[in-house]
């Protein structure tokens, strides 16, 4: 059974930093792209893809709004995915999900398994 | 940047059919995916590659995609189908989600 378990969420002040972790099990972690997706908590907000990383970590992509502030990484030996978040603002308040990512070909790119999420609240 | 637009809400009576649209420029030239998210739970993939259902997803969920619009159809809607639904596509190295639709079963 595929399992993704996030940890590391919490309350952080504006301008602060936080590191999220995701422990994966039930599949060959090193064979998959992995992503972080967030659900913003503000009214009317929905799902937003944040970042993804290739199987060997050689390619990483980010949504424009987090470029330069957030870094995705992975440790295949420990079946773990990470998200280092710096210079946080209220706009980053969200539930952050770790998601296994399928990339079967051009345009066939989606998320087939999700973790339970980690809440990040940015507030003074 | 690429955008996907969904109606904010759809209401349906139990046993009836609910249709949720997802509009984007030439969306039919891309694959569309659909996720269901119930309050306090993680999103669940319910349709992939326009119209395929993952194992364990009920047959009452179906999808189509043509032109500028992808559509998720829930046939014989049940109370348990009350949730938020998001479409998703991939464009220029970016995973794009739709604005989301809240389905209410009255």
Structure confidence by residue, pLDDT tens digits, A78-110: 999 999 999 999 999 999 999 999 988 788 899
Taking the C-alpha atoms of residue B43 and residue B34, their distance in angstroms, rounded to an integer, is 10
Whether B84 sits inside 8 A of A37 (CB atoms) is no
Ordered per-residue pLDDT tens for chain B, 106 residues: 999 999 999 999 999 999 999 999 999 999 999 999 999 999 999 999 999 999 999 999 999 999 999 999 999 999 999 999 999 999 988 999 999 999 999 9
Whether A49 sits inside 8 A of B94 (CB atoms) is yes
pLDDT of B51 reads 97
pLDDT of A106 reads 80
B92 touches chain A (CB under 8 A): no
**Cα-Cα-Cα-Cα dihedral sign, residues B68, B1, B31, A43:** negative
Place of tokens 């996907």: B4
Give the minimum alpha-carbon distance from A21 to chain B in angstroms, rounded to a whole number: 17
Whether A108 sits inside 8 A of B49 (CB atoms) is yes
Beta strands in A26-69 (DSSP E): 33-40, 47-53, 60-62
Closest chain A residue by Cα to residue B43: A114
Count Cβ neighbours within 10 Å for each residue of A29-61 and write b for 16 or more, e otherwise. Answer: beebbbbbbbbeeeeeebbbbbbbbebeeeeeb
Taking the C-alpha atoms of residue B16 and residue A94, their distance in angstroms, rounded to an integer, is 34
A3's enclosing H/E stretch is strand A3-7
pLDDT of A44 reads 76
pLDDT of A21 reads 98
pLDDT of A104 reads 82
Residue A41: pLDDT over 90: no
Whether A107 sits inside 8 A of B93 (CB atoms) is no
């Amino acid at each position: 059974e595929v399992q993704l378990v996030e940890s590391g969420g919490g309350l952080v002040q504006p301008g602060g930093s936080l590191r999220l972790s995701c422990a994966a099990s039930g599949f060959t972690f090193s064979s998959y792209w992995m992503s972080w997706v967030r659900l913003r908590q503000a009214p009317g907000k929905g799902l937003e893809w944040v970042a993804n990383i290739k199987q060997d970590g050689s390619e990483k992509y980010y949504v424009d709004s987090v470029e330069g502030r957030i870094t995705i990484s992975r440790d295949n030996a420990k079946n773990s995915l990470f998200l280092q978040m710096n210079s946080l603002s209220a706009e980053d308040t969200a539930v952050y999900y770790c998601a296994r990512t399928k990339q079967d070909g051009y345009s066939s790119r989606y998320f087939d398994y999700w973790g339970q999420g980690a809440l990040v609240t940015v507030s003074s | 940047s690429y955008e996907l637009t969904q109606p904010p809400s759809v209401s349906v009576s139990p046993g009836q059919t609910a249709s949720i649209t997802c509009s984007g420029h030439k969306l039919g030239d891309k694959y569309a995916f659909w996720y269901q998210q119930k309050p306090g739970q993680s999103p669940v993939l319910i349709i992939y590659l326009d119209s395929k259902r993952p194992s364990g997803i009920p047959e009452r969920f179906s999808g189509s995609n043509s032109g500028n619009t992808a559509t998720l159809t829930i046939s014989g809607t049940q109370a348990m189908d009350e949730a938020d639904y998001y479409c998703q596509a991939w464009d220029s190295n970016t995973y794009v989600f739709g604005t989301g639709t809240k389905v209410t079963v009255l």
